[in-house]
Amino acid sequence: MFSLESITNAVQDWLNANFSPMWALIIQCAIVILLAMGLFATLGLVLVLMERKVAAHMQIRLGPNRVGPKGMFQTAADTLKLIMKEGLTPEGADKLLFNLAPFVVMIVSMLLLAPLAFSNGFQLWDLNIGVLFISAVSSVSVIGILMAGWASNNKYSLLGAMRSGAQIVSYELSAGLSIISIVVLAGSLQISDIINSQQDGWWIFKGHIPAIISFVIFIIAVTAETNRAPFDLAEAESELTAGFHTEYSGMKFALFFLAEYINIFIACAIGATLFLGGWMPLHIGHWQAFNHVMDYIPGVVWFFGKTFFLIFVIMWFRWTFPRLRIDQLLNLEWKYLLPISLFNLLLVTLIAIMGWHF
Amino acid sequence: MAFIKQYISEVFGAVRSLWKGMRTTGRYFVRPKEIITQQYPDNRDTLVLPERFRGEVVMPHDENNEHACTGCTACELACPNGTIKIITKFDITPEGKKKKALDTFIYHLELCTMCNLCIEACPTDAIKMAKNFEHSVYDRSKLTKRLNKPGSKIREGIE
């Protein structure tokens, strides 16, 4: 059966046989950096194109279809354009913070890549508090956004950044609570343990209705955390021109743009890992024959399939729902999502203690 | 208790209405046949325009080079921005009477807003809107058009 683990093991053995341990480690780091950057660049290109195509088809349009076959090179051409543009720094801006902010946002996305399991044994860092690491680091991105808004010396940027801060801080709660409900069921914070606990069925099926509720809440919360419509108040084209990245141009703007899509990918990958079993194929209880057939599809295909399905759902939200007002946004979180997820957490705990899940 | 009941029904109502919206967009997503985009320069030969499309004012002539315009200037009066200028002449009828008739129908395409008021004002349906929209020319004077063809005359029986 095809497995990425055998490839990584072969590479490691070859490096250890030919180099000293230190050099082997350095070369491994270089390979990982290369892979991560390659993944980011490809994701940026693919997701932007996917967004535009999905948007177009939902609005009965065709979308980009001129550059390359079916418009496949449109985003590559756009990136080339952005690279060649001047990265302007405004006169009154705080130069250091202004230039640092896009990199902070980008580094946070890169850090979140570390605990993700792409396939069986294909994981950068399987630390024993993986879920905690994810929810802790993902809230650092708000610092980058506040930095950008503050340093731009522009009232719209500052307003956008402040809104974004209020939004991320509030929605972190319900995202965290819905993640905790899965941690309660799986009994571990380690990503590989959580995936292995879904060997006989994904948590969204095994955890009955409370798992479905916490999945829905998780999707809503990550949509808000990644500043996507219908929660895109931080950008709010009609009111704040572009929010915190109004003053950015060229490649620095592209970094923000890329970080948004990478964040969506990572949020959806975490959702897929916790609720839909990560790279674990679709297994149903003790149906040995069915489970065996499903095992023939490699884990990486399952992982990306689930992740892209969730990304599609989030894009579907964006092109269907109108934007919320700031008071409605906070009402939704504090009056609806938070009480529901607290109550839901109680139910999940009861299920976990009584062993009612499959 | 009533409060909790209302709270739960609000949540369910919200979920249902959101799902309704998502169903609409999802339906469009899975039906690519319904896409309304016209890939214009590529499909110039097969382009289908809506029936009521307003491109420019034209005057239809039949095979005998006859039109239906009586030169009543109703269209000129109806036009809000002076696009139409009608020059009349006097024809001599077989009975020897003088009768007002159209000499030249001048139409300034560069001033026209395609508002359709002249077509509605015309009592004899002598003018109509064409479905042509490729109006660009290199010389502005080419936009001033004479709608009645040279040598044309009014159709028999139209008053």
Distance CA A239, CA A172 (A): 25
User: Tell me, what's the pLDDT at B20?
Assistant: 92
Residues of B in contact with A340 (CB under 8 A): 11
Mutation for B interface: A219, A320, A337, most B CBs within 10 A:
A320
DSSP 8-state class, residue A322:
P
Cβ pair B29:A317 closer than 8 A: no
Q: How far off is chain A from B55, nearest CA to CA, in Å?
A: 24
Listed residue (B154, B145, B53, B143) closest to B106, CA to CA = B145
User: Within 13 Å and on the Cβ side, how many CA atoms surround A188?
Assistant: 15
Does B24 contact chain A (CB < 8 Å)? yes
CA–CA distance, B159 with B68 (Å, rounded to integer): 9
In whole angstroms, give the CA distance from residue A342 to residue A346: 7
- Out of B25, B32, B37, name the one closest to residue A320 (CB): B25
Q: A320 and B39: CB-CB below 8 Å?
A: no
Residues of A with Cβ-Cβ distance to B36 under 8 angstroms = 60-61
* pLDDT value for A208: 78
How far apart are alpha carbons A289 and A296 in whole angstroms? Answer: 11
Q: Considering only residues 253 to 272 of chain A, which have any Cβ-Cβ distance to chain B shorter than 8 Å?
A: none
pLDDT at A89: 80
Q: Is the pLDDT of residue B138 over 90?
A: yes
- Interchain proximity A321–B18, CB inside 8 Å: yes
| Assigned token pair, A88 | 């302007």
3-state class of A117 per DSSP? strand
| Separation of CA B27 from chain center | 33
Across the range B16-23, mean pLDDT stands at 90
Give residue-wise pLDDT tens across range B57-99.
889 888 888 888 888 888 889 999 889 999 988 888 777 788 8
Q: Which of B18, B28, B39 is closest, CB to CB, to A60?
A: B28
Domain ranges of chain A: 85-354
Other CB atoms closer than 10 Å to residue B26's CB: what's the count?
14
Considering only CB atoms, B36 lies closest to which of A58, A60, A320, namely: A60
Distance (Å, rounded) from C-alpha B100 to C-alpha B121?
Answer: 19
Beta-carbon contacts of residue A197 (< 8 Å; ≥ 6 apart): A185, A186, A187, A188, A203
Q: Could you tell me if residue A250 is left (phi over 0), alpha (psi between -120 and 50 degrees) or otherwise beta?
A: left
Give the pLDDT confidence score for residue B96 in this predicted structure. 76
Contact criterion met (CB below 8 Å) for B114 and B129: yes
Burial class (CB in 10 A: 0-12, 13-18, 19+), A36: middle
Strand B84-92 versus strand A122-123 pairing type? unpaired
**Cβ-Cβ contacts under 8 Å for A86 (sequence gap 6 or more):** A249, A250
Q: Does B28 contact chain A (CB < 8 Å)?
A: yes
Euclidean distance between CA atoms A158 and A240, whole angstroms:
10
User: What is the rounded distance in angstroms from the CA atom of residue A308 to the CA atom of residue A101?
Assistant: 28
> Three-state SS for A118?
strand
Long-range contacts of B79-87 (CB under 8 A, 24+ apart): B79/B117, B79/B118, B80/B113, B80/B115, B80/B117, B81/B111, B81/B112, B81/B113, B82/B108, B82/B111, B83/B57, B83/B107, B83/B108, B83/B109, B83/B111, B83/B112, B83/B113, B83/B118, B84/B57, B84/B108, B84/B118
Say whether the ipTM exceeds 0.90.
no
Share of chain B above pLDDT 90, in %: 8
Structure tokens, B135: 């109006």
Angstroms from B25 CA to nearest CA on chain A: 5
Token digits of residue A71: 């418009």
Asked whether the beta carbons of A185 and A206 are under 8 A apart, the reply is yes
A183: distance to nearest CA of chain B, Å?
A: 26
In 3-state terms, what secondary structure has residue A197? coil
Asked whether the beta carbons of residue B25 and residue A58 sit closer than 8 angstroms, the reply is yes
Distance from CA of B159 to the nearest CA of A (A): 49
Which amino acid would we find at residue A202?
A: W
Give residue for tokens 């239809």.
B60
Identity of the residue numbered A239: E
Residues of chain A where predicted confidence (pLDDT) is lower than 50: none
- 8 Å CB contact of B22 and A319: no
Nearest CA of chain B to the CA of A65: how many Å? Answer: 10
Residues forming beta bridges with residue B102, ordered by sequence position? B88
For tokens 């021109």, name the residue: A241
A–B interface: beta-carbon pairs under 8 A: 37
CA distance A258 to A245: 12
Name residue, tokens 């990644």. Answer: A226
Q: Would an 8 Å CB–CB cutoff place B22 in contact with chain A?
A: yes
Q: How far is A71 from chain B (nearest CA, A)?
A: 14
Contact A316 B36 (CB under 8 A): no
Question: What one-character-per-residue DSSP string does chain B give?
Answer: -HHHHHHHHHHHHHHHHHHHHHHHHHHHHT-GGG-----TTTTTTT----TT---EEE----TTSEE------HHHHH-TT--EEEEEEEEEPTTS-EEEEEEEEEEEGGG-----HHHHH-TT---EEE-------SSGGGGEEE-SPTT-EEPTT--
Q: What are the tens digits of pLDDT across the range A228-244?
A: 878 877 676 666 777 77
User: Which chain A residue lies closest to B7 (C-alpha atoms)?
Assistant: A336
Nearest CA in chain A to B32: A57
Mean pLDDT, chain B, rounded, equals: 86
Q: Measure in Å the smallest separation between the Cα of A211 and chain B Cα atoms.
A: 17
Whole-angstrom distance, CA of residue B37 vs CA of residue A61: 5
Q: For chain B, state the CA radius of gyration.
A: 27
- Model-wide pTM > 0.90: no
| Residue of chain B whose alpha carbon sits nearest to that of A336 | B11
| A60/B22 touch (CB, cutoff 8 Å), yes or no | no
Least confident segment among A247-256, A264-273, B13-22, B139-148: A247-256
CA-to-CA separations, B69 to B46, B88, B109, in angstroms, rounded: 32, 11, 19
Q: How far apart are CA A124 and CA A118, in angstroms?
A: 9
Question: Chain B contact for A66, CB < 8 A?
Answer: no
